[in-house]
């Protein structure tokens, strides 16, 4: 059994640990970035717990346009609390807990929260192997992203409500 809840400041270290094992060093947000982002938009961080241990997280700022420019990753002041679109900076599940549907339920939770907050949609970037996963949750592929985050190739995905 699992629980999804709003993250707290005490979860930030664990979220950064999970991020570090799920993404390359160039792509993973370091602890300092998590701390700055959490200070700016804590309402946009959720964790998934199994047996009272955080095993996954999802987070991202709110932005005024249906896009995810790289500058958002490094400048928490660009968070627009009244913006139209929720972004997803990261969705990560501890490798020991992957393949159990947790990424799907965390994403669905983020969708529900975004709808409840009257957002127009959610935007994210993902690698090729995750396009079908996000499409299964209702996202549309908009094409190859202009993002050069971590030196990787990304795809722009949008879910419009």
Q: For residues 136-144, give the mean pLDDT.
A: 97
Give yes or no for residue 150 having a pLDDT over 90. Answer: no
Give yes or no for residue 120 having a pLDDT over 90. Answer: yes
Q: Which residue has the tokens 């969705």?
A: 91
- Per the structure, the count of domains in the chain is 1
pLDDT of residue 15: 97
Q: Which helix (H) or strand (E) holds 63?
A: strand 62-63
Which residue segment(s) compose the domain that 6 sits in?
Answer: 2-160
CA–centroid distance for 161 within its chain: 18
Triad 130, 136, 139: Cα angle to 5°: 80
Q: For residues 65-89, give the mean pLDDT.
A: 95
140-144 β-sheet, strand order: 62-63, 85-88, 121-126, 155-160, 140-144
147 and 68 Cβ atoms separated by less than 8 Å: yes
Stretch among 18-22, 23-27, 60-64, 97-101 having the lowest mean pLDDT: 23-27
159 and 111 Cβ atoms separated by less than 8 Å: yes
Q: For residues 65-74, give the mean pLDDT.
A: 93
Find the largest Cα–Cα distance for the chain: 40
| CA neighbours closer than 13 Å in the CB half-sphere of residue 139 | 28
pLDDT of residue 151: 86
157 and 127 Cβ atoms separated by less than 8 Å: no
The CATH number assigned to the domain holding 106 equals 3.40.630.30
Give yes or no for residue 71 having a pLDDT over 90. Answer: yes
């Amino acid at each position: 059994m699992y629980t999804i809840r709003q993250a707290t400041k005490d979860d930030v270290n664990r979220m950064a640990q999970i991020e570090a094992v799920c993404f390359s060093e160039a792509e993973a947000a370091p602890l300092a970035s998590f701390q700055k982002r959490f200070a700016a938009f804590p309402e946009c961080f959720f964790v998934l717990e199994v047996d009272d241990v955080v095993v996954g997280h999802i987070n991202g700022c709110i932005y005024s346009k249906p896009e995810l420019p790289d500058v958002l990753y490094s400048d928490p002041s660009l968070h627009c609390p009244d913006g139209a679109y929720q972004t997803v900076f990261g969705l990560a599940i501890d490798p020991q807990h992957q393949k159990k549907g947790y990424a799907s339920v965390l994403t669905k939770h983020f969708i529900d929260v975004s709808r409840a907050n009257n957002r127009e949609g959610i935007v994210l970037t993902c690698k090729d192997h995750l396009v079908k996963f996000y499409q299964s949750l209702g996202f549309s592929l908009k094409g190859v992203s202009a993002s050069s985050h971590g030196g990787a190739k990304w795809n722009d995905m949008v879910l419009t409500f």
